[in-house]
Amino acid sequence: MASHWLVKSEPETYSFEDLQKDGKTVWDGVRNFAAAGHLKAMKVGDQVLFYHSQEGKDVVGVARVAKEAFPDATDATGKFVAVELTPVRKLPRSVTLADMKATPALSDMAMLRQGRLSVSPVSDAEWATILKMAGE
């Protein structure tokens, strides 16, 4: 059963456009146990919302898990993992943080309840709501 997720990235560091240009990317550098736990739970084929933090503060695109969790090569301790993501599509309209906060159906979203979490789960209902808000 496929799950849905949301990952955050500062577009200045790595934007959705960068992912589309690269064709794929290794999602490493996560140094938070809760987020790492979510990375480990990802399965190939799971869909992932791509959120731009700091600049934009909006969900801009959809990506897909291409490779399940493997040791993060940038982590010397060996405690953290990375996954590989590929771009799926850019959303017709981005969905801003303000829009999500203003939507009662999304009030329980993990990313809203815990702002600093860089990788978080998205329920099927939340997923459908956000895609609809994005004009799909």
Which residues of the shown chain bind DNA in the complex (CB under 7 A)? 8, 10, 31-34, 53-54, 57, 97-98, 101, 114-118
For DNA, give the closer residue by CB, 1 or 118. 118
> Nearest 5°: CA angle at 53, between 79 and 77?
10
Q: How far is the CB of 118 from DNA (least distance, A)?
A: 4
Nearest residue to 3 via CA among 123, 134, 90: 123
Nearest C-alpha neighbor of 131 from the set 87, 94, 86, 88? 94
- Structure tokens belonging to residue 27: 């999602």
Q: Which is nearer to DNA, 23 or 80 (CB)?
A: 80
Partners of residue 49 on adjacent β-strands: 6, 62
The least CB distance from residue 36 to DNA, in Å, is 7
Max intra-chain CA distance, the chain: 43
CB of 27 to DNA, least distance (A): 13
Report the residue number, 4 or 38, with the smaller CB distance to DNA.
38
Question: C-beta of 114: minimal distance to DNA in Å?
Answer: 5
